[in-house]
Amino acid sequence: MTKSPKLRDKPVDAPRAAARDTLRAVRERDAYANLVLPKMLRERRITGRDAALATELAYGAARAEGLLDAVISAAANRPVAEIDGNVLDVLRLGTYQLLRTRIGAHAAVSTSVDLIRSEMGMGPSGFVNAVLRKVSQRDEDLWIDELAPSMADDLIGNLAFRYAHPRWIAEVFDEALGGSAGQLQAALAADDDRPPVHLVARPGLITAEELALASGGDVGRYSPYCVYLPGGDPGDLEAVRDGYAGVQDEGSQLVGRALTVADVADDTGRWLDMCAGPGGKAALVAAIADIDGAHLDAIEISEHRADLIRKVVRDLPVDVHVADARSCGLEPGFDRILLDAPCSGLGSLRRRPEARWRRRPDDVAELVVLQRELLTEALRLVKPGGVVIYSTCSPHPAETVGVVAAVLAEVPDAEQIDARPLVPADHLGDGPHVQLWPHIHGTDAMFLAALRRR
């Protein structure tokens, strides 16, 4: 039977189908949206404005999942766990468009209905249509007013809901920010935004000024190697393709640089990166080591990640070791050691769209044990007078100041030194550690502490 013109399937639009398939991969396979989508865009030859739309929708909907689900559940009058997964992906995309983009309500609803009808037929498409129409009756603020805990009763709960963070993460940020509600609001808002793209100009190969000219970007505020890219795909830049530049958050650049500028008497040029994969900081440190006549040993436990390091440190004075850094077998006596420890990643949630909804508070306790062991070993491997930079891309106090305090209590000949002079940024607080923030510095929320063996 031929369908009537009204019922005939419309072709689904490619960017929204890619966004839906990304959300599905995240939900079904625990995939990382920022790995799945770029590959899908290449394979499906989706480029330009269409690629930008798919990215905005997929990453935006993944980032806002908790908020979207609360609204969908209210509009559908049932918990989202009772909604078929494939239908839920389309509802999330549609709700995201309605609440958080300028896409008109008609287009947001009808494209969602088309997406579901092409796969699942009329029944589910009627449900999607009904739910999204209900969602479209209010804007985001009205939904928040209706569904979030009140500011007066539960400020953290309200802000967590409003800026699409699980409550426990908002609590961690609150603790790290010292309980300032204004700071917490700004931090969550910045974390809920699309992240900027930062490039690193590899020392000795290109300057930040040259890279800014070549890329149409602006030189960074703090890192002498940083360029802010206003838009576009960094992979299209010749400097990135040729390895003169890479994509790296400015906060990470500041951590790598801090290792190289700390005072170390009689630096013999033995430098170590204890947890180096995939090699972002190792590449920067090694480029500076090359200029300074030093050598970097880079340890990484995962073979695959060690391969990634080898790719980015080609031609630089680096030895890559696949080992557990707690028992790597290298001779002690290093002048400078970077321990960029495995961590919860709560400081770079804006770059990994779905991560905030995947992490669990319990993840942290196990990581803290590993972080302490690694830092203790770093202090054994560094020479007296040498420096250890301990860093995390997390502001979680248990992973940052907690680890440093616990290890210092156990290692009597180690001391913490002021890390602030090693970081050319403002608003660095009372020290001695440095905690960067997206809402203050525009960087990921990187933490670093500087320790010395007496």
Ligand X SMILES: C[S@@+](CC[C@H](N)C(=O)[O-])C[C@H]1O[C@@H](n2cnc3c(N)ncnc32)[C@H](O)[C@@H]1O
Min separation Cβ 275 and ligand X, Å? 3
Pick the catalytic residue: 226, 328, 343, 393? 393
Dump strand ranges (E) for 191-325.
Answer: 197-201, 218-219, 226-229, 245-247, 270-273, 295-300, 318-322
Beta-carbon neighbour count of residue 314 at 10 Å? 10
Which two tokens mark 123?
């029944």
Give the binding range for ligand X (CB under 6 A) out of 121-129, 271-279, 381-389, 440-448. Answer: 271-279
- 226 catalytic per annotation: no
Helix axes 155-162, 140-147, angle to 10 degrees: 150
* Per CB under 6 A, 376 contacts ligand X: no
From CA 39, how far away is CA 23, in angstroms rounded?
Answer: 14
204 is in an annotated binding site: no
* Per CB under 6 A, 191 contacts ligand X: no
**Interaction residues for ligand X, span 251-270 (CB under 6 A):** 252
Beta-carbon neighbour count of residue 362 at 10 Å? 7
275 is in an annotated binding site: yes
281 is in an annotated binding site: yes
SS3 391: strand
Q: Which residues does 131 contact at the CB level (< 8 Å), separation at least 6?
A: 72, 75, 76, 91
* Per CB under 6 A, 446 contacts ligand X: no
328 is in an annotated binding site: no
* Per CB under 6 A, 243 contacts ligand X: no
DSSP letter for each residue of 415-426: EEE--GGGS--S
300 is in an annotated binding site: yes
Min separation Cβ 395 and ligand X, Å? 14
Residue type, 320: V
Pairing between β-strand 334-340 and β-strand 382-392 as defined by DSSP bridges: parallel
Of the candidates 54, 197, 262, 276, which one interacts with ligand X according to CB under 6 A? 276
- CB contact at 8 A, 308 and 279: yes
Of the candidates 80, 258, 272, 325, which one interacts with ligand X according to CB under 6 A? 325
Of the candidates 280, 347, 353, 386, which one interacts with ligand X according to CB under 6 A? 280
Residue closer to ligand X (CB basis): 124 or 345: 345
277 is in an annotated binding site: yes
**Interaction residues for ligand X, span 337-356 (CB under 6 A):** 340, 342
**Interaction residues for ligand X, span 286-315 (CB under 6 A):** 299-302, 305
By the 10 Å C-beta count (0-12 exposed, 13-18 middle, 19+ buried), 278 is classed as middle
By the 10 Å C-beta count (0-12 exposed, 13-18 middle, 19+ buried), 291 is classed as exposed
Give the binding range for ligand X (CB under 6 A) out of 79-87, 101-109, 145-153, 320-328. Answer: 320-328
* Per CB under 6 A, 47 contacts ligand X: no
Residue closer to ligand X (CB basis): 378 or 414: 378
Q: Which residues are annotated as a binding site for S-adenosyl-L-methionine?
A: 275-281, 300, 324, 340
Residues binding ligand X (CB under 6 A): 252, 275-281, 299-302, 305, 324-326, 340, 342
Positions annotated as catalytic residues are: 393
